[in-house]
């Protein structure tokens, strides 16, 4: 890998002093004023958790408003100069924008602010780089980082622009830039080939697991809603389950015994988040394939989160992107132990056909887990009936 690529992949892992910038854009929050403010504050709070999850030290937050992004600096020139002054005063190493920035905007902001600038996509990639433990996870993260980096290489060569030659001649800046681009393209190709091999291996493992015709259930949901904690509680596994965004990146599959007649394969998957970068979804195709090929999705929701309905919508957007939108879902409303007793819903909710549609649980105290097992048994049996019908036809 090129020197610039290595620097980009390692610099974000060190603890840095971060100033977070959140911009309330009219297009992002096209609702009434009171609701717009609530949604923006929720998005900004999530961004602060993302910064902390990256291992950085959050030392300042600057919220602001704009009708639309400035093409050169995202924020206006006056606000950018205010950012530069604040960054200098409190000795900021890194300014993070809770938005996707163009390469030009990043380059212009770095020149003006005199420090590194990272957008929301880069921040999520930095977190994934810290959390990926398996070979597959690391390959997927590296691929996503290189794809993101490839459009931003020009930032490293600004000091060589004046050395370019005339027509038919290439200066050292352009030569080095194109060399790095070629090396990154080659590395991306190799990574994609390696991940194709991983997908083939995973398909072989899946075929071996499915020889017993066990229904496949996949835990999905917004990041940090309790998926891994639920997985551990049900399967007695020891998957990392922390009160942090993106604590789980690597798939884990276990056989889950439900009763004497019913067992299923249960997989824990990476959590989703608002505006999950398309490139990251594409890079994690091998991991997300486990979700797309499941028979039933167990959609875990933090019922105590003030924007849990929006989180459900955000998850469904990603499911649609990975062609999993039509897979039957069981909504699992988690953390009911945090609700007041008079507000605490319980039991199983069924659809018009009498099939389980939602269930209320608490992984923390075990409330509703018996109902969850009952619902899973019924959904697993429906899958078996369908399989028998296909075999008999």
Structure confidence by residue, pLDDT tens digits, 94-140 = 999 999 899 899 999 999 999 999 999 888 888 888 777 777 778 87
**Are 231 and 123 in the same domain?**
no
Annotated binding-site residue? 59: no
pTM score: 0.77
Residue 146 shares a structural domain with residue 289: no
334 is in an annotated binding site: yes
Q: Residue 210: its pLDDT value, please?
A: 56
Determine if residue 356 is left, alpha or beta; phi over 0 gives left, psi from -120 to 50 gives alpha, anything else beta: beta
Q: Is 349 annotated as a binding residue?
A: no
Strands 216-221 and 356-360: unpaired
287 and 145 in a common domain = no
- Domain C-terminal end among 212, 231, 250: 212
Highest mean pLDDT among 4-13, 70-79, 187-196 belongs to 70-79
- Among the three residues 131, 148, 171, which one is the final residue of a domain in this structure? 131
Q: How far apart are CA 184 and CA 2, in angstroms?
A: 7
Dist. CA 53–CA 172, nearest whole Å: 39
Could you tell me the residue range of the domain that residue 78 belongs to? 3-131
Looking at the structure, tell me whether residues 259 and 374 fall in a common domain. Answer: yes
Annotated binding residue 65: no
Long-range contacts of 67-74 (CB under 8 A, 24+ apart): 67/25, 67/26, 68/25, 68/26, 68/27, 69/23, 69/25, 69/99, 69/105, 71/104, 71/105, 72/104, 72/105, 72/108, 73/105, 73/108, 73/109, 73/112, 74/23, 74/99, 74/101, 74/105, 74/109
My answer on whether 222 and 236 are in the same domain is yes
- Find out whether 248 is annotated in a ligand binding site: yes
Based on the number of CB atoms within 10 Å of its own CB, is 149 exposed (0-12), middle (13-18) or buried (19 or more)?
buried
- The alpha carbon dihedral of 97, 301, 255, 319 has a sign of negative
pLDDT tens-digit profile of 281-331?
Answer: 776 766 677 788 889 999 999 999 988 998 999 899 889 988 899 999 999
User: Does the annotation list 335 as a binding residue?
Assistant: yes
Residues 123 and 92 in one domain: yes
Indicate whether 199 and 225 sit together in one domain: no
Instruction: Return the DSSP state at 304.
Output: T
Report how many domains make up the chain: 3
Question: What's the pLDDT band for 211 if we cut at 50, 70, 90?
Answer: low
Q: Please, which residues have CB within 8 angstroms of residue 107's CB and are 6 or more apart in sequence? A: 152, 154, 155, 158
Domain stops at, among 131, 157, 176: 131
300 is in an annotated binding site: no
């Amino acid at each position: 890998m090129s020197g610039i690529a290595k620097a980009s992949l390692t610099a974000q892992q060190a603890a840095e002093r971060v100033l977070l910038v959140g911009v309330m854009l009219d297009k992002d929050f096209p609702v009434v004023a009171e609701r717009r403010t609530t949604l923006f504050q929720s998005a900004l709070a999530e961004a602060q958790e993302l910064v902390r999850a990256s291992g950085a030290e959050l030392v300042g937050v600057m919220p602001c408003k704009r009708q639309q992004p400035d093409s050169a600096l995202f924020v206006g020139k006056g606000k950018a100069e205010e950012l530069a002054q604040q960054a200098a005063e409190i000795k900021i190493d890194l300014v993070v924008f809770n938005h996707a920035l163009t390469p030009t905007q990043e380059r212009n902001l770095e020149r003006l602010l005199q420090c590194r600038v990272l957008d929301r996509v880069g921040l999520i990639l930095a977190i994934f780089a810290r959390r990926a433990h398996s070979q597959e996870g690391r390959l997927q993260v590296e691929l996503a980082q290189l794809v993101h980096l490839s459009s931003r290489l020009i930032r490293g060569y600004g000091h060589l622009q004046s050395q370019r030659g005339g027509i038919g001649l290439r200066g050292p800046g352009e030569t080095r830039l194109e060399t790095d681009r070629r090396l990154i393209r080659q590395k991306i190709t190799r990574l994609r080939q390696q991940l194709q091999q991983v997908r083939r291996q995973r398909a072989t493992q899946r075929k071996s697991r499915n020889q017993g015709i066990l229904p496949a259930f996949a835990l999905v949901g917004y990041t940090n809603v309790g998926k891994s904690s639920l997985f551990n509680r049900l399967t007695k596994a020891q998957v990392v389950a922390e009160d942090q965004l993106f604590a789980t990146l690597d798939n884990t599959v276990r056989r889950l015994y439900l009763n004497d007649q019913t067992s299923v394969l249960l997989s824990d998957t990476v959590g989703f988040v608002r505006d999950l970068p398309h490139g990251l979804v594409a890079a994690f195709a091998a991991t997300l394939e486990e979700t797309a090929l499941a028979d039933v999705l167990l959609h875990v929701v933090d019922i105590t989160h003030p924007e849990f309905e929006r989180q459900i919508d955000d998850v469904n957007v990603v499911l649609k992107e990975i062609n999993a939108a039509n897979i039957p879902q069981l909504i699992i409303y988690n953390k009911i132990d945090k609700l007041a007793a008079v507000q605490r819903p319980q039991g199983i909710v069924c659809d018009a056909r009498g099939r389980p549609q939602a269930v209320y649980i608490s992984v923390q105290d075990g409330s509703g887990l018996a109902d969850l097992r009952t619902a899973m048994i019924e959904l697993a049996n429906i899958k078996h009936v369908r399989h028998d019908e296909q075999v008999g036809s």
